[in-house]
């Protein structure tokens, strides 16, 4: 089982202003914690994803990946809109575990940020370095995201957190389903991560049936070979008790599928999407 999406950090309130001091996230989450949690959950490899928008973050995650074989790939950050982004891509791409780039589009004040000229110029360079682009958006960003991926038909994309639908227990959001159906038609959208869902639930309690239904809606649209398991640990701890809980939930959701379909979702898609 491969975890396609988790974070690591040495907590500093200035570096992570989005984490309140009283939060369960306001502590260090480093390799010892990662290894202990993945061991408990039966996860044998991971992809570490940026949590700060700095080149320092990319270098730091790669240095951690050098220390631990548990981390098989890194999704880092580069200043995509900067005129010298190519220099950073050239340097970072020499590291064998640097697999993809991500920008926190969901936090940009402009809902159409993803269509910006300078940003797209940087995106257009990723393919030259064999890099995937991870798309981090909210459901409301799906319309411009469809236009965005159409601008780059030869670039490979991965959707984080099933595009963060507004999850209400007992129903599936039609706007989300419509947008995801359009993305599923684009074959260069190679993977969707079953991750980051618990923190999008608007109700006080999580409903396992609703979460499972979102997985199966995604499965119907994309098929098992374009879906991969991820935890979004430690952010997921805002709504669940431990890493293993989400791993066990996803295992239970896919238990009725064939062995090949389970293998695709739990391991193979992640390995293929990031060339692990």
pLDDT of the residue at 66: 98
Between CA 188 and CA 193, with CA 191 as vertex, the angle to 5 degrees is: 150
Helix (H, G, I), strand (E, B) or coil at 233: strand
Half-sphere exposure of residue 35: CA atoms within 13 angstroms, side-chain side: 9
* Strands annotated E in 42-125: 45-49, 71-76, 98-103
User: pLDDT for 109-130, tens place per residue?
Assistant: 999 999 999 999 999 999 999 9
DSSP at 232: -
d(CA 231, CA 124): 29
158 bridge partner residues: 134, 191
User: pLDDT for 127-176, tens place per residue?
Assistant: 999 999 999 999 999 999 999 999 999 999 999 999 999 999 999 999 99
The 3 state secondary structure assigned to 122-167 is HHHHHHHHCCEEEECCCHHHHHHHHHHHHHCCCCCEEEHHHHCCCE
User: pLDDT for 217-261, tens place per residue?
Assistant: 999 999 999 999 999 999 999 999 999 999 999 999 999 999 999
Instruction: Count the helix, strand and coil residues of the chain and give each as a percent rounded to the nearest 5.
Output: 45, 15, 35
> What average pLDDT score do residues 71-100 get?
97
pLDDT of the residue at 137: 98
Residues 6+ apart with CB under 8 A from 167: 173, 197, 200, 201, 202, 210, 211, 214
pLDDT of the residue at 262: 98
- What spatial distance separates the first Cα and last Cα of the chain, rounded to whole Å? 13
CATH class for the region spanning 2-274: alpha beta
Alpha-carbon distance values, 153 to 124, 226, 264 (Å): 10, 17, 24
Which H or E element spans position 216? helix 208-222
Alpha-carbon distance values, 186 to 79, 87, 137, 146, 183 (Å): 26, 30, 17, 9, 5
Half-sphere exposure of residue 126: CA atoms within 13 angstroms, side-chain side: 28
pLDDT of the residue at 101: 98
Q: How many helices (H) and strands (E) does the chain have?
A: 10, 8
d(CA 38, CA 47): 12
pLDDT of the residue at 124: 98
Rounded to the nearest integer, the mean pLDDT of the chain is: 97
pLDDT band at 189 (very low <50, low <70, confident <90, very high): very high
Q: Label residue 43 left, alpha or beta by phi (over 0 means left) and psi (-120 to 50 means alpha).
A: beta
pLDDT band at 200 (very low <50, low <70, confident <90, very high): very high
């Amino acid at each position: 089982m491969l975890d396609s999406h988790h974070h690591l950090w040495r907590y500093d309130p200035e570096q992570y202003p989005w984490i309140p001091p009283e939060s369960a996230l306001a502590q260090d989450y480093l390799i010892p914690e990662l290894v202990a949690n993945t061991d408990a959950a039966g996860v044998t490899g991971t992809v570490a994803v940026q949590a700060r928008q700095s080149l320092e973050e990319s270098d730091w995650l790669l240095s951690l990946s050098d220390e631990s074989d548990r981390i098989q790939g890194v999704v880092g950050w580069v200043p995509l809109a900067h005129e010298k982004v190519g220099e950073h891509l050239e340097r970072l791409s020499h590291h064998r575990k640097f697999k993809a780039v991500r920008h926190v589009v969901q936090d940009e004040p402009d809902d159409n940020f993803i269509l910006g000229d300078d940003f797209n110029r940087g995106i257009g360079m990723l393919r030259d370095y064999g890099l995937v682009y991870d798309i981090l958006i909210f459901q409301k960003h799906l319309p411009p995201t469809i236009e965005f991926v159409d601008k780059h038909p030869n670039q490979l994309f991965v959707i984080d957190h099933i595009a963060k639908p507004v999850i209400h227990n007992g129903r599936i959001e039609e706007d989300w389903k419509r947008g995801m159906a359009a993305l599923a038609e684009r074959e260069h959208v190679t993977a969707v991560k079953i991750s980051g869902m618990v923190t999008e639930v608007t109700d006080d309690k999580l409903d396992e049936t609703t979460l499972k239904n979102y997985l199966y809606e995604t499965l119907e649209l994309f098929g098992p070979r374009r879906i991969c398991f991820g935890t979004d640990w430690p952010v997921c701890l805002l709504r669940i008790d431990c890493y293993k809980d989400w791993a066990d939930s996803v295992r239970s959701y896919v238990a009725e599928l064939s062995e090949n379909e389970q293998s695709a979702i739990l391991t193979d898609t992640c390995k293929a999407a990031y060339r692990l």
